[in-house]
Structure 1
Amino acid sequence: MKGVDGDKKSVKNAYEIFLKLRNIEPDNALIEAYYGSTLALLGRDAVQPLEKADKAQEGLDSLNQAISMDPNQKEIRMLRANVCLRLPESFFHCTQTAIEDYSFLLERYKKDPSYLTNTQVRGIMEDLSTAYKNVGKLSEANEVLQRLKQFTSKKK
């Protein structure tokens, strides 16, 4: 979390740890996802534009690989959605992937309310609304915000 919050040294340390773990357990989807997430953070922190783009794309590729290894894993879906939402849509065109992941998580939650915490549901709905706005789907964004208001009022 320190890396997500901007600590570049923590990002490098996390990357090195997940690289080692990935070599030890190449078939572990969750490790692959965290490895991809650290690559995306390395891209965020890179100085050279080409390195930024390359690392971010490598991170996306690893996150997509993790999903193909375990498509129902909640944590992997959350990681990929969060990375996709924060990458520039004009360059990476992956906001739709974030929408799909957030929608997947909310569908699972509908079937099993213990699948996500209330805090996770609120965060996912806020991010889903943002994702819809980012791709110009304002009516969908507003619909999600209305559902969020209903959810929040029920949970009080």
Structure 2
Amino acid sequence: MKGVDGDKKAVKIAYEIFLKLRKTEPDNALIEAYYGRTLALLGRDAVQPLEKADKAQEGLDSLNQEIPMDPNQKEIQLLRGNICLRLPESFFHCSETAIEDFTFLLDHYKENSNYLTPKQVREVLRNLSAAYQNAGKPDKANSFLQRLDQLELKKKS
């Protein structure tokens, strides 16, 4: 989480840890997903534009490979959705992937209310709104903001 919050040294340490872990457990989709996340964070922190793009794409490719390995793993869906949401749409064109991931999470939550925590539900709704906005669908984005507002009102009452 330190790396996500901007600590470049923590990103490098996490990258080294997941690089080693994936060698010991090559079929572990969650380890591979976190490895992909660290690659994307290395891209975020890179100085050279080409290195930024390459690392981000490498991380995204890694996450895209892990979804089929364990399609019901919510952590992987959260990781990929969050990364896709934060990558520039004009270059990576992955807002639709973020929408798919966040919709998947909400659909599973509808089936099982223990699937996501209340905080995760709010985060997913907020992120889904942002993903629709990035995809050029402001009406859909607003509908998810309204759902989030309704949730917040229920929480307060």
> Normalising by structure 2, what TM-score?
0.97
- Once residues 124 and 55 of structure 1 are traced to their aligned partners in structure 2, the CA distance between those partners, rounded to angstroms, is 25
2:55 corresponding residue in structure 1: 55
Deviation by residue 1:19-63 (Cα, 9 ceiling, x = unmatched): 000011110000000000000000000111111111001000110
Residue 74 (structure 1) shift = 0.4
Structure 1 unmatched runs, 5+: none
Q: What are the within-5 Å matches in structure 2 for residues 1-150 of structure 1? A: 1-150=1-150
Deviation by residue 1:130-149 (Cα, 9 ceiling, x = unmatched): 11111110110111111112
- Once residues 71 and 118 of structure 1 are traced to their aligned partners in structure 2, the CA distance between those partners, rounded to angstroms, is 22
Q: How many residues align?
A: 156
- Once residues 73 and 155 of structure 1 are traced to their aligned partners in structure 2, the CA distance between those partners, rounded to angstroms, is 27
- Once residues 155 and 11 of structure 2 are traced to their aligned partners in structure 1, the CA distance between those partners, rounded to angstroms, is 36
Structure 2 unmatched runs, 5+: none
Residue 153 (structure 1) shift = 2.2
1:153 corresponding residue in structure 2: 153
Opposite residue 145 of structure 1, the aligned amino acid is L
> Normalising by structure 1, what TM-score?
0.98
Name the SS of the counterpart of 1:155 in structure 2: helix
- Once residues 108 and 10 of structure 1 are traced to their aligned partners in structure 2, the CA distance between those partners, rounded to angstroms, is 32
Residue 155 (structure 1) shift = 2.9
- Once residues 68 and 114 of structure 1 are traced to their aligned partners in structure 2, the CA distance between those partners, rounded to angstroms, is 23
Runs of 4+ in structure 1 off by over 3 angstroms are none
Name the SS of the counterpart of 1:26 in structure 2: coil
- Once residues 133 and 95 of structure 1 are traced to their aligned partners in structure 2, the CA distance between those partners, rounded to angstroms, is 9
Name the SS of the counterpart of 2:16 in structure 1: helix
Deviation by residue 1:112-133 (Cα, 9 ceiling, x = unmatched): 1111111110011011101111
- Once residues 146 and 8 of structure 1 are traced to their aligned partners in structure 2, the CA distance between those partners, rounded to angstroms, is 36
Opposite residue 76 of structure 1, the aligned amino acid is I
- Once residues 136 and 52 of structure 1 are traced to their aligned partners in structure 2, the CA distance between those partners, rounded to angstroms, is 24
